[in-house]
Structure formats: structure tokens, C-alpha cells
Amino acid sequence: MSACAFADFFTNSPTGSSINTVRKNRSWRSLGLFITVLTAGLSSTTIRAQEFAALVTPPRYELFMQPGQTTHQILEITHMGTQVTPYRIYTADWTYSSEGTVNFFEPLQTGSCRQWVALERREITLASQAKKRFRFEISTPPDAAAGECRFAVMIEGRDLKVKATDAISFPMAARIGVVVYVTIGKAAPLLEVAKMSAEIVDGKITPVLQIRNAGNAHGRLSGVLDAIDAAGVKFELSPATLPILPGEIRKIVLAAPTDDKAAQSARYPIKISGNLEWADQKTAISHIFVAPASPTITTSVPNKVEAAPNRTQ
């Protein structure tokens, strides 16, 4: 099992692709995909790593299938490094915590659907700037129940090393995970607003919704809401597009663009109204958000917007 921040779901990628790089004396970040860097327990401030660079598209898949159906998909991998690099490719189950952390599990977990997945191969080797159109297929059983199959296709760099000192080096595993959602039959989300409140998020008072998914497929909120603060200043807010998995309640931040000065300096209480949209449904809200009584209490809630997925019906 390994864990990482869940950047896949809520980091914007304008090109619909993602470059994930670990370079010597340079930090890494993920654009639209999972990426984990696993070392021998070393502090990140002491690590110098050889290059791991891959461009992968699409950043995720949202597929719709019927029982007894097979779908063929293509994942495009481009090696952006300067050295020939082998990659191991495999599937993993995953969970998503309320704090926005993902845990990956290579062993099959209870309820896993990964036995439905076939990969073209388990290893590939790419030269600098080489591109590989990697194929995988999913075959749902004829008796598959309505619901959602979720897994990740993992692309892991092989033979990478971290140089801690001039004399000591350690093996490193850097990997990208592309999330795949498969909605089976008539499965669908059923989103409900469980609670609305203002909380401290990243040191700032922020309107937050707690959304319950009573359906059997994941859902995401969208829409533009009208807001007016205590001084009568008007602005617009939108919900974070995090996935809300079946059976869970997830905190969803309502945020404005960072360059919207009116929203960034809003005075509470704030009245927010409008329609939250999800799937082909709408939920109307109208609520006055009051600043919390104990502003020293902090809450960390992911609030970024994710890249667009590959959708197949």
C-alpha cells in the first residue's frame, strides 16, 4: 500500500495531458494524474534523483458499459527524459480519504473489478521522446450488477536511483496512476446536500458543502452560484469538482477565481443561492453562511478543479 495527495481529481490541465517529472535538484508535481515518489525514507530536502519524466494522456477515463460488454482503450505515454527508461505497467485498487489522500493497493481488494481488466503488456522501455500507444481492455461479466468499477492503471519508472551523498544511492520508485471509472448498466449518482457551513480552509473563511452520495456511481458538482456579502458586494462561486464516491459524504468547497478581488475580500455573513448541477440533475440551494465562532480551528479541504477525462459510452 502507498499513499499520496489526490491531485488526479482536482488539478487543472489545460491540454488534457500531464507531464510528471522528478529531476536532479528539482521538485515534482502532478498535473491531472496521481504521482507518487517512494524512496528509502529519506527527507525530500536531501534527495537528488535521476530523471523520471512521462507525459500521459488522457488524465482519467469515465466509461459507460453494459453487462457482458468489452471495451478497448488506449493510453498514450511519452517519455520526456533524456535517457532510455523502462516502465512497469500494472493495475491497482485505490481509496480516497476525506483529507484528500489516495491509498493504492496492488493486491486485489474486496470488491475489486480488476480481474475484468487485461493489459497489453507489463513492461515497456522508451527512448528519449519516444511515444507508446498502450492498449488495455475491460470486459464486464454478463451477470455484472449495476454499479461502478474503479481502478487505476499505474505507470512506474524502473531502475531509478536517489543519490543521497556522493557515496550512497538508494532505489526510487516514481509512478503515475491514471484513474478509470466504469459505470455499469443504469448505475448513477444521487447527490444530496447534508450540511452547509463556513469553515477555515487554508487559513481563510470559506463556504463548504457536505455532499452525500446515496447512489451507486460517483458524481461531481458543477454550476455557478450567486453570492452577496454583508456589504452588498456581489460575486460568483463554483463548487470544487472532486469525485463524491457512492456511500460517502465529502466536503466540497465553494470558491471563486483567485483574481476575483471582491470574492477574496468578502465580508461575512454571505448569502449564496443558485443551482448545483450533477449528472443531468439540479439541486437548488439558498443559504446564509456565517463566519465560524472559533476561527482558530483549521480544516484542510482540497478545492482544485481536475482535468477533463476521456469519456466513452
d(CA 156, CA 176): 6
Q: Which three cell numbers stand for residue 250?
A: 465529502
Q: What's the pLDDT score for residue 159?
A: 62
pTM beyond 0.85: the answer is: no
> What percent of the chain is modeled with pLDDT above 90?
61
The pLDDT-based confidence of 294 (bands split at 50, 70, 90) is low
Residue 243 pLDDT > 80, yes or no? yes
Q: What's the pLDDT score for residue 207?
A: 97
d(CA 19, CA 97): 25
Query: Which stretch of DSSP H or E encloses residue 262?
Result: helix 261-264
d(CA 85, CA 83): 6
Give the mean pLDDT of 192-199: 97
ω into 58 cis (within 30 of 0): yes
Q: What's the pLDDT score for residue 299?
A: 45
DSSP codes joined into one string, 186-252: T----EEEEEEEEEEETTEEEEEEEEEE-SSS-B--B--EEEE-TT--EEEEEE----B-TT-EEEE
Give the mean pLDDT of 145-161: 88
Q: What's the pLDDT score for residue 99?
A: 84
Report the mean per-residue pLDDT for the chain: 81
Residue 39 pLDDT > 60, yes or no? no
In terms of Cα–Cα distance, which of 176, 244, 175, 258 is closest to 213?
A: 244
Q: What's the pLDDT score for residue 204?
A: 93
Q: What's the pLDDT score for residue 63?
A: 98
The pLDDT-based confidence of 174 (bands split at 50, 70, 90) is confident
Q: What's the pLDDT score for residue 244?
A: 96
Parse the chain into domains and list their residue ranges: 2-184, 191-305
Q: Fold match between 2-184 and 191-305?
A: yes
The torsion region of residue 166 among left (phi > 0), alpha (psi -120 to 50) and beta comes to alpha
The answer to whether the beta carbons of residues 69 and 110 sit under 8 Å apart is no
Residues 6+ apart with CB under 8 A from 240: 10, 221, 252, 253, 254, 255, 301, 302, 303, 304, 305
Give the mean pLDDT of 221-245: 96
Please indicate whether residue 14 or residue 287 has the higher confidence score (pLDDT).
287
The pLDDT-based confidence of 245 (bands split at 50, 70, 90) is very high
Residue 276 pLDDT > 70, yes or no? yes
Please indicate whether residue 18 or residue 51 has the higher confidence score (pLDDT).
51
Q: Does domain 2-184 bear CATH number 2.60.40.10?
A: yes
Helix %, strand %, coil % of the chain (to 5):
5, 55, 40
Q: DSSP class of residue 132?
A: E
The pLDDT-based confidence of 6 (bands split at 50, 70, 90) is very low
The answer to whether the beta carbons of residues 158 and 123 sit under 8 Å apart is yes
Residue 246 pLDDT > 50, yes or no? yes
Q: What's the pLDDT score for residue 158?
A: 74
Residue 36 pLDDT > 90, yes or no? no
| Class of domain 191-305 as given by CATH | mainly beta
Could you report the per-residue pLDDT of 64-108, keeping only the tens digit for each?
999 999 999 999 999 988 889 899 999 999 999 888 888 889 999
Q: What's the pLDDT score for residue 218?
A: 97
Could you report the per-residue pLDDT of 253-274, keeping only the tens digit for each?
999 988 898 898 999 999 999 9
Q: What's the pLDDT score for residue 7?
A: 36
